[in-house]
Amino acid sequence: MSAPLISAALVSWFRQNGRDYPWRQTRDAYAILVSEIMLQQTQISTVLDRGYYARWLALFPDFATLAAASESEILKAWEGLGYYRRARNLQKLAQVVVTEHGGVFPTDPAAIRALPGIGPYTAGAISSFAYGLAEPIVDGNVARVLSRLDNDATPIDSTTGSKRLWERATELVQATEDPRSLNSALMELGQTICKPTQPLCPQCPVKKHCRATDPTSLPVKSNKTQMTEVTERVVFIQTAEGVLLEQETGARRTGLWKLPALPENLAASPPPVLLKMNYGITRYKVTLWVHEFPATAPQVWPDNHRLIPHRDLATLAMPSPYRKALDKLLAHSAFTLMA
């Protein structure tokens, strides 16, 4: 494929049609980094329409403020976005930038890639979007566009497929004088026109260069994600003083608060169900059962359990499914008026 012609067509199209996101209005590496981390496995509409991006930058406007923040502040600001490890890793990176780079994000691509938690995509995104460097990016949207352009059925999750994608992306970004617009165009094209299903091929700015004969069959993946069904059973315990919550210690949601797990001694014959909810996370399809805790059942709770006053419930960071469950339970609670 003719890289200069394709790159020129993409840049021209993007300059006329690119959407005006806030992170496209800045060259600040920190603001761009925050957007890239937030948008990992999260839709743009969630990040923007629900105010996560603006709130985060208001609370933590630079590397120094983020590096100095408490974990509870960070988790609360991230609440509802899920994949909380992203927030923790973002703070670790900020601390390295402060301690090892004087609070200034490096401009050299090799130095960027050496930062903790920075992979090839994020390094390329910041290098091109903040500094205008000819560094490639490959995410899901870009992989789809490139696979279709070359009608390449090599699985994109294979070593060979990944290598080809990065080589193509490098060829394109090095064929333009505007790497920022070129990389933005590749992503935008995948989001708006070269979509997974029902691609809008007649509207594509590079349709005359595209070799795809069956676009919807591309890209190919060798490993399809299999969903695993999981059951979570918890209890709702409330008094006039507050609600009993458990602070998680697992790797996935450490530090967040949730309804306490159903004690093992009640698992064989669970108490009545107050609420049932379904939610998904990564490759898991979870059914959440909230049980009434028997008033007559004695229980010694571990140290990571605490009775939280009603007035403090909103200030704690909770996984979104548990926040929704708690809100529903409190809406029908006799103690709600006492908060």
DSSP result, 300-335: ---TTEEEE-GGGGGGS---HHHHHHHHHHHHT-TT
Per residue in 98-154, pLDDT (tens digit) is 999 999 999 999 999 999 999 999 999 999 999 999 999 999 999 999 999 999 999
Q: Phi-psi region for residue 117, left (φ > 0), alpha (ψ -120 to 50) or beta?
A: left
**Residue 299, pLDDT score:** 76
Per residue in 227-279, pLDDT (tens digit) is 899 999 999 999 999 999 999 987 677 899 999 999 999 999 999 999 999 99
* pLDDT confidence bin for 223, thresholds 50/70/90: confident
When comparing pLDDT for 206 and 226, which is higher?
206
Give me the CATH topology for the region 228-338: Nucleoside Triphosphate Pyrophosphohydrolase (3.90.79)
* Separation of alpha carbons 286 and 229, rounded Å: 6
CATH 3.90.79.10, the chain: domain bounds: 228-338
| Half-sphere exposure at residue 141, Cβ-oriented, CA atoms within 13 angstroms | 19
In CATH, the architecture of 3-217 is: Orthogonal Bundle (1.10)
Indicate if the pLDDT at residue 65 is higher than 60. yes
pTM metric for this prediction: 0.88
CATH 1.10.340.30, the chain: domain bounds: 3-217
Helix (H) or strand (E) holding 163: helix 159-173
Per residue in 25-37, pLDDT (tens digit) is 999 999 999 999 9
- Compute CA distances 255 → 75, 101, 311, whole Å: 8, 29, 19
Active site residues: 36
Give mean pLDDT, residues 178-195: 98
3-state class of 4 per DSSP? helix
**Residue 335, pLDDT score:** 53
Most distant pair of Cα atoms in the chain: their distance = 75
